[in-house]
Amino acid sequence: MNQLPQHAAFSHLLLMGTFVHEYTYEQMQEAYGVTINPTLVMLVSVDRYPDLIIGKEIEWKIELGQTLMKAICKMVTAPFTWLWIEEGVVALLIELPVQTEQTPLSLNAIRIANEIQKASDAERISVSIGIGTYYSDPVMLQRSYQEAMHSMIDRFFQGNRMIFSYMKKKQSEAAARETMSAYKENIERERVDLLARVHIGDVEGAITVLPTLLEKVAQANQYNVSRFQSEVVNLVMMVSRLVLEAGFSAETILTENAHFIQELYRTIRYDKFVQKVCTYVRQLTEQIALTQTLYVSPLIRQAVRFIKEQLNERIMLEEVAQYCCLSKYHLSHLFKREVGLSVIDFINKLRLEKAKYYLETTDLTVQQIASQVGFQDASYFSRMFKKVHQFSPSEYRSRNIALDPNKLRST
């Protein structure tokens, strides 16, 4: 269903709040031939619209818009006008009746939203709806529009066919701020664990823990989309820094980061967001892993991957051999020839390398780090560390802090 162009222009000026520079509200009504007095803005957004339009012609988009508006006009009895603010999203400027005890405005608005969803469902169009606040002053309708947009931010996490109310969101945000800092403290250790896995090229280990970490980051930020996205971008930059430290081209990595981050901010669903982050972190971690297994056979590469995945646990030579479908004697011979270390020495080397990262970036105790990287005995860990690096773990940490006081992060 189409509306008159002057009605669309009226809606645009009202949503932007710019009419005050040229008209009083009554003068604008007369100039555009509009008699209604909108008091609330409701946003109706077609679910998964970016996915739906792939491969579709302009005629399909027009038909979708007209079908949706016919369904809305059929169900909404209150006076309203509308404006398409972007593809797949229409703003309804609705004149709600005066509030009474029997019909509170919030319930009336939600009733209208439910009716719109039912009507669109009948046309096989799934929509989510954001509801702003009621304002009797038309100058304030711009705020109702902004509030409706803000209410729908949580759609990123919550999926399709949702109804969001700005007033409810405002109340929940106030209650959430009190517990946010406690959540953030609890996830820092898992963040460091992820980065330590990336540091040693543990591809599967990193991708195993990453989705859980992202969910906890979302919880820590009380599902605030902008804060969540910002923290995830920072995490990706930390991973990228490890790749740069491994010797890869800064120009290449930074260019790839720029393209990836742009794509990430265009993602409108949490599940796809996580999928893209996992894919990119996998690519980055694989570049580090490649430097360690570039000249070995696929069979030994398989053994190295298994060792990395099990590094925090007790690893027996027989287990690695069984995973590779070899005898332990044959595996030992091949591994020593291609890697230059025995299987056990390689395991210890990886554990010590991972321990270095913990010593450099956390304030975990030596005992905690030993356990975290797979050493059962902290004393044995300290002896091995000093044998390889000429300093005890504590001495190594002190020297690194002296060289770079900003490097240590509290967990």
Please say if the pLDDT value at position 357 is more than 80: yes
**What dihedral angle (degrees, nearest 10) is formed by the CA atoms of 50, 52, 55, 56?**
-110
What is the per-residue pLDDT for 363? 87
CATH superfamily of 5-161: Reverse transcriptase/Diguanylate cyclase domain (3.30.70.270)
Please say if the pLDDT value at position 101 is more than 50: no
Per-residue pLDDT of 313-331, as tens digits, reads 889 999 999 999 999 999 9
What is the per-residue pLDDT for 184? 65
Strands (E) across 100-180 are located at: 127-131, 163-165
What is the per-residue pLDDT for 226? 84
The least confident of 31-40, 77-86, 179-188 is 179-188
How many other CB atoms are found less than 10 A from the CB of residue 130? 28
Please say if the pLDDT value at position 77 is more than 80: yes
Per-residue pLDDT of 142-151, as tens digits, reads 999 999 988 8
What is the per-residue pLDDT for 151? 84
What is the per-residue pLDDT for 410? 40
Whether 39 and 79 have beta carbons less than 8 Å apart is answered as no
Whether 370 and 355 have beta carbons less than 8 Å apart is answered as yes
Per-residue pLDDT of 265-305, as tens digits, reads 878 778 889 999 999 999 999 999 988 777 889 999 999 99
Separation between Cα atoms, residue 342 and residue 27, nearest integer Å = 86
Query: Which top CATH class is 341-411?
Result: mainly alpha
Cα distances (angstroms) measured from residue 75 to each of 63, 80, 378: 19, 12, 70
Average per-residue pLDDT for the chain: 87
What is the per-residue pLDDT for 366? 93
Q: Which residues pair with 164 in a beta bridge?
A: 130
What is the per-residue pLDDT for 106? 63
What is the per-residue pLDDT for 169? 52
Please say if the pLDDT value at position 248 is more than 80: yes
Separation between Cα atoms, residue 392 and residue 385, nearest integer Å = 6
Confidence of residue 100 (pLDDT cuts 50, 70, 90): very low
What phi and psi, each to the nearest 5 degrees, are found at residue 62?
A: -65, -45
pLDDT, average across residues 119-125? 94
Confidence of residue 384 (pLDDT cuts 50, 70, 90): very high
Q: Which residue has the tokens 């797979």?
A: 374
Whether 341 and 349 have beta carbons less than 8 Å apart is answered as yes
pLDDT, average across residues 127-136? 91
Please report which residue ranges of 246-269 form alpha helices under DSSP H: 250-265
What is the per-residue pLDDT for 295? 83
Quick one: tokens of 173?
Answer: 């945000």
Quick one: tokens of 105?
Answer: 């405005």
Please give the helix or strand (H or E) that residue 159 lies within, else none: none
Whether 35 and 29 have beta carbons less than 8 Å apart is answered as yes
In the chain, how long is the greatest CA-to-CA distance?
92
What is the per-residue pLDDT for 90? 95
Separation between Cα atoms, residue 225 and residue 323, nearest integer Å = 42
**Which residues are within 8 A (CB) of 322 and not within 5 positions of it... i.e. 6 or more apart?**
none
User: Residue 82 class from Cβ within 10 Å (0-12 exposed, 13-18 middle, 19+ buried)?
Assistant: buried
What phi and psi, each to the nearest 5 degrees, are found at residue 392?
A: -70, 165
Quick one: tokens of 119?
Answer: 């009507």
Per-residue pLDDT of 333-348, as tens digits, reads 999 999 999 999 999 9
Q: Which residue has the tokens 């280990």?
A: 205
Quick one: tokens of 233?
Answer: 């971008």
Per-residue pLDDT of 22-73, as tens digits, reads 889 999 999 999 999 999 999 999 998 888 999 999 999 999 999 999 999 9
What is the per-residue pLDDT for 409? 47
Whether 42 and 113 have beta carbons less than 8 Å apart is answered as yes
CATH 3.30.70.270 residue ranges of the chain are 5-161
pLDDT, average across residues 187-204? 91
Quick one: tokens of 277?
Answer: 């982050």
Please report which residue ranges of 162-224 form alpha helices under DSSP H: 166-199, 203-220
pLDDT: is 104 or 254 the higher one?
Answer: 254
Please say if the pLDDT value at position 185 is more than 70: no
% of the chain exceeding 70 in pLDDT: 90
The least confident of 4-8, 12-16, 92-96 is 4-8
What is the per-residue pLDDT for 155? 76
CATH 1.10.10.60 residue ranges of the chain are 341-411
Query: DSSP letters of 322-358?
Result: HHTTS-HHHHHHHHHHHHSS-HHHHHHHHHHHHHHHH
